[in-house]
Amino acid sequence: MSIVLYWHPMSSASPIACALVELGVPHERVKVDIRTGEQRRPEYLALNPNGKVPTLTVEGAPMFEALAIHLWLGHRFGIERGLWPAAGTPEALQALSWCAWGYVTYGALVGRLHVATQGEEVWRSAAQAEATMRGLSELLAVLDARLAAQPWMLGADYSLVDLVVGSVLGYSVYLGAPVNDHPHVKDWLARVQARPAMQIES
């Protein structure tokens, strides 16, 4: 199977590169220089009309959106490698729920925090950042309670769900999210980030 990842280091495509390594999936990587605008070239827009990374092609057919790619990788390769639960199990329902939680529920607040603290000057707001931090803390408390009862997102063993959720949380730490106020989350995230597959940035 021919799989190509279009990516840029230190971007939202990095977790996909890490997932491919974690899963042991042979693939080719094509760097798209988002600093010089390569993502807006017509040949790239033909693969990803959003003009962003990541894009994954499978036998030449493209897919985009990091969450969609993660879920496809989990279903296609993760089950046989013990990194994604089998279809029809309660764990499979939890996997979908927590991946969506990471990218959508938690991720939406991370996006707001980015705008309030790192965005264009006209959109920056200390009050908005403070309110967003409170929302993030509430969500982190939910996750902390789960991780107080088990070492990994789905139970006793590491899975691709840990990588997916951990990637979003890792970026939120960079923005100042109060992850360190939640000890079980802090410990879990350190273990996720210590995995060899998470060191991929070249």
**Closest alpha carbon to 189 in 202, 201, 158:** 158
The pLDDT of residue 66 is above 80: yes
Question: In what order do the strands lie in the sheet containing 55-58?
Answer: 28-31, 3-7, 55-58, 61-64
Same domain (yes/no): 138, 184: yes
Domain that holds residue 169: 90-197
Strand intervals (E) in 15-111: 28-31, 55-58, 61-64
Angle, alpha carbons 130-186-166 (nearest 5°): 85
pLDDT at 126: 85
**pLDDT tens digits, 100-142:** 999 999 999 999 998 888 778 878 888 888 899 999 999 999 9
Q: Is residue 83 part of a domain?
A: no
Indicate the pLDDT class of residue 144, thresholds 50, 70 and 90.
very high
Mark which of 78, 109, 134 sits at the end of a domain: 78
Domain count, the chain: 2
In a domain, 85, yes or no: no
pLDDT at 201 over 70: no
Q: Note whether 134 and 160 are same-domain residues.
A: yes
Nearest C-alpha neighbor of 92 from the set 81, 79, 106 = 79
Shared domain check, 52 and 134? no
Per-residue pLDDT averaged across 66-83, rounded?
A: 97
Please indicate whether residue 145 or residue 120 has the higher confidence score (pLDDT): 145
Kindly report the backbone phi and psi dihedral angles of residue 30, in degrees, each rounded to the nearest multiple of 5, phi listed first. Answer: -120, 120
- Residue 84 covered by a domain: no
CATH assignment at residue 118: 1.20.1050.10
Tokens of residue 169, six digits: 């949380």
Six-digit token string for 118: 């790192």
Asked, for residue 157, whether it belongs to a domain, the answer is yes
Residues 68 and 94 occupy one common structural domain: no
Q: Report the alpha-carbon distance of residue 187 to residue 151 in Å, rounded.
A: 9
* 2-16 average pLDDT score: 94
Q: What is the token pair recorded at 28?
A: 């080719």
- In the listed set 54, 78, 102, which residue is the last one of a domain according to the structure? 78
Is 72 found in the same domain as 117? no
Residues 35, 96, single domain; the answer is: no
Using an 8 Å Cβ cutoff, are 90 and 40 in contact?
A: no
183 and 140 within one domain: yes
In this structure, are 23 and 111 located in the same domain? no
Report d(CA 151, CA 184) in Å as an integer: 9
> What are the tens digits of pLDDT across the range 34-45?
999 999 999 999
Q: Any residues with CB less than 8 A from the CB of 9 and at least 6 apart, and which?
A: 31, 201, 202
